[in-house]
Amino acid sequence: MARRRAGLVPSLQALAAQAGRAVQGWPWWLQATAVYFAARLVSACIFMAAALHQGPNPWLPAKPDYWNFINIWDARWYGQVIAGGYPSVLPTDAAGNVQENAWAFYPLFPALAGGLSRLTGLVPAASLTIIAMLAGWGAALVVYILFRHKAAPASALWGVAFFATFPVSAILQVPYAESLSLLLLAAALLLVVRRQYLWAIPVVVLLCLSRPVGVPFAAMLGLVLLRHLWERFGARQAGNGQREGTHSNGDLAALAALTAAGGAMALAWPAAAWAATGDIQAYTKTETVWRGHDLVPFKPWFDTGVDLFGPVLGLLAPVVFVALFGAMLFLPPVRQLGVELRLWCACYMGYLVVFLHPQTSTFRMLLPLFPLALGAVLVSGSRAYRWTVVTMFLLLQIVWIVWLWAWAQLPGGGDYPP
């Protein structure tokens, strides 16, 4: 019996090696597709297992099926947008405080799903799910192409694996706008890396209508523009012997146009809320409903730090976090991502630190930092290391789904949002 078991291990290893060689012969898009859908299958199994333990909740009876279980939380808001659009008058309570409403949810995702429902007759929940799944698949393919500009094929594919198995990556298959926004973000970053700035303009326009990422993206574009202006003009005038920048005047004009378009579109949705409701603060008032107090830049991070670590360490915690994140961007594996991707990560994290109220939804909002997945891959070429990361991501995905997606009422009412 011991001999049979001993012989079984080499046989399994040989089978795994043979399967690996077979996959390596597939075209890149099929490899990335296989990685993405394998990850989504694992996530689906975790969702179904969690649904079996789901008790009574605000949306469904206990133990819902998979399709109903993934259509809770913000998915219901997108369904409401499809059904009734956005309110022309902000809902308020008896004291005049703005209440939760649809203006917090950007229009592109429900618009596409609503169009699909009208075209096919599908119910909005099904259309939202289909759009999310297809967009997530597209994002995985574009992420691979983007990573290939910075790494070899094997490392780029591992980067897709890290992206597809990240602890909150299950959000890519539920009716949330994250997958669509990530597809557009990856496409916009790819076009910027390729210096196809004019082609990037329509992509950035759509990106700014998918989720609130327009401000950090415009900031990143502005910094890239300043860097290339300095390379072309500043360094030469300074007489420090540096060569002239690689961007022509036409390139700089196109990048400036893209930056202007990004900056304008970053304000488009708040402006639309103002135009529809007559309240210049309609969008910010709506967004801050979920945090329970007015928007004060930086302050929520220090408040959360004090709550978690006390009055002294709590005030230092956000500063230490920002310093560590900044230092990470200069580590050799991350430096291989190039200037544009590193600037995007810096601007997006800066945006979160300035405007975000740290809470359990913060984990989900880290997905736009996906370029760091390739940096994590490049830390080591060891397969043991990379498989360990994927395994840990999947285990943490169980934690995220069971802790945050599944609903369980807290003692004070409600539950932590995913």
- How do residues 59-75 score in pLDDT, each as one tens digit? 999 999 999 999 999 99
User: What pLDDT, on a 0 to 100 scale, did the predictor assign at position 12?
Assistant: 45
User: What pLDDT, on a 0 to 100 scale, did the predictor assign at position 237?
Assistant: 60
User: What pLDDT, on a 0 to 100 scale, did the predictor assign at position 94?
Assistant: 87
CA distances from 168 to 146, 171, 204, 363, 416 (A): 21, 6, 24, 7, 15
| 113 neighbors 60 (Cβ within 8 angstroms) | no
User: What pLDDT, on a 0 to 100 scale, did the predictor assign at position 1?
Assistant: 54
Contacts of 318 (CB under 8 A, 6+ apart): 298, 301, 302, 305, 353
User: What pLDDT, on a 0 to 100 scale, did the predictor assign at position 172?
Assistant: 97
Residue spans of the chain under pLDDT 70: 1-21, 235-245, 292
pTM across the whole model: 0.93
Nearest 10 degrees: CA dihedral of 322, 325, 327, 329? -140
User: What pLDDT, on a 0 to 100 scale, did the predictor assign at position 240?
Assistant: 53
Question: CB burial class (10 A; 0-12, 13-18, 19+) of residue 108?
Answer: buried
Question: Residues 207, 195, 190, CA angle at the centre, nearest 5°?
Answer: 45
Closest CA to 221 of 245, 249, 177, 189: 189
CA distance 50 to 32: 27
